Amino acid sequence: MPSAYVLINCEIGSEKHIISKLNNLSGIEEVSEVNGIYDVIVKVNSDSIDKLKETITTSIRRIDTVRSTLTLIVIE
């Protein structure tokens, strides 16, 4: 099963808003708020690499207060 970690940099104060939206998406296994350069880390699972990429590009990256992301695809 393809999976990835997505590190999210968001607008100041919007972490809870983003976490709430992420928790409602399918394929999201884990969401954590963190301190540092990135604000939120998400673990995403999917049935295929194409669906995984689609979830990241069309669902996660389009949340209105997301500034940038870094995607780390897990090597199986």
What pLDDT band is residue 48 in, cutting at 50, 70 and 90? Answer: very high
How many CA atoms lie within 13 Å of 36's alpha carbon, on the beta-carbon side?
A: 8
Q: What angle do CA 7, 12, 15 make, to 5 degrees?
A: 55
pLDDT at residue 76, rounded to an integer:
79
Average pLDDT, integer, range 66-74: 97
Q: Give the global pTM.
A: 0.93
Mean pLDDT of all residues in the chain?
96
Residue type at position 36: G
Average pLDDT, integer, range 25-54: 96
What pLDDT band is residue 74 in, cutting at 50, 70 and 90? Answer: very high
Compute how many other C-beta atoms are within 10 angstroms of the C-beta atom of residue 34.
12
